[in-house]
Homo-oligomer: A and B are copies of this chain.
Amino acid sequence: MSSISPEDDAKRKEFYERLARSALSPLWLSLAALVTRQPSSGLKAAMWSYADCRALLMEAGGLVSVEEAERRVLVLENSAFPGQSRITTSLYAGLQLVLPGERARSHRHSQSALRFVLEGTGAYTAVGGERTPMYPGDFIITPSWEWHDHGNDTPDPVIWLDGLDIPLVQALDTSFMEQLGQIEQPVLRPAGDSLARFGANLLPVDHRPTGLTSPVFSYPYARTREALDTLRRNGEPDACHGYKMRFVNPVTGGFAMPTIGTFMQLLPRGFASGPYRSTDATVFTPVEGEGRSQIGEQILEWSARDVFVVPSWATVRHLASSDAVLFSFSDRPVQLATGLFREERIQ
């Protein structure tokens, strides 16, 4: 850009002030930051150690009163966006602790939520009149605008990872929320009903979907693990992904949730994945195993139940030092629906 005389500079400043008073701003000053050559949010690769987080969560369990219990969540906040409750630019993640005997009141909201169970057996999530038990490794959905509640009737604490599309819903300005009058929704059907009804490669003959979310709202780990084991026994791993599957909505074959893509992958012991990058910043949590991931220049050493995040378009390589299974989620369904998704296997 050519140099500008002090006089011109002053003129421009005065002009910009007048613009501001008319709610206008000069694009020539901001364009370079708005339309960038590559993803440029500044999102940081980062990891949260489960051991550390668990200790703080337990401490919170002592500090936060019963009334506040339904919010006993520690938000995993990307340091690039302090105070914004986001782990990526479009997604929220948090660790939730439910102590023995606690129950959350039934409510519903526009935001889609996933729960990925990290610790404890025997809590439940209720959706659509069905209470599903929660075991480590289970992927559970509380769909947009469906009543949901949960509780822990066991003597042990339960901890899960929450994933929500809160920042995306903010960007679209479409948040709605309601409390159900009663504390808990009535239980209408036994556990396992939705899985049998919708998840056995059959659908009720006249089923008409009422939303975009999978009616199978609980994907038990045992079944997922078995599928991954079969893939492993029967073929070679993908160079960049190992054995990787995405959870699907059986009514459409699309993603299980309209705004959040969810995945599970198995990396055999010693497997080193080839460099790969994609535009969907992704949150990972290992279910089993240990390893490390190189993200750009950064190296993260992880073991089971840690949580780490890979920014958009950062090159990632995983190395599994034992057989490892990783759950992950991102906003890929939105990127695909808008034509904005890109991915690259780097040679």
> Given A12-B63, A85-B30, A227-B196, do A203 and B76 touch, yes or no (CB 8 Å)?
no
Within 8 A of B (CB), among A1-59: 1-2, 8, 11-12, 15, 18-20, 22-28, 30-31, 34-41, 43, 46, 48, 52-53, 56, 59
B339, A337: Cβ atoms under 8 Å? no
Count the copies.
Answer: 4
> Given A76-B23, A77-B24, A253-B250, do A201 and B174 touch, yes or no (CB 8 Å)?
no
The answer to whether A346 has its CB under 8 Å from any CB of chain B is: no
Complex alpha-carbon distance, A189 and B235, angstroms: 8
B246, A67: Cβ atoms under 8 Å? no
Complex alpha-carbon distance, A171 and B248, angstroms: 24
Within 8 A of B (CB), among A249-276: 249-253, 256, 258-259, 263-265
* Chain B residues near A19 (CB-CB < 8 A): 56, 74
Within 8 A of B (CB), among A66-125: 67-68, 71-79, 82-83, 85, 88-90, 92, 94, 109-111
From residue A97, how far is it (CB to closest CB) to chain B in Å? 11
B26, A338: Cβ atoms under 8 Å? no
A89, B205: Cβ atoms under 8 Å? no
Task: Beyond A27-B73, A168-B171, list 13 extra A-B contacts (CB 8 Å).
Answer: A2-B67, A24-B77, A27-B71, A27-B85, A34-B85, A35-B111, A172-B338, A201-B250, A202-B246, A203-B246, A212-B338, A250-B250, A251-B253
Query: CB within 8 Å of B: which residues of A?
Result: 1-2, 8, 11-12, 15, 18-20, 22-28, 30-31, 34-41, 43, 46, 48, 52-53, 56, 59-60, 63-65, 67-68, 71-79, 82-83, 85, 88-90, 92, 94, 109-111, 144, 165-178, 189-190, 192-193, 196-197, 199-206, 211-214, 216, 219, 223-224, 226-227, 230-231, 233-235, 238, 241, 244-253, 256, 258-259, 263-265, 279, 281, 311-313, 331, 333-335, 337-342
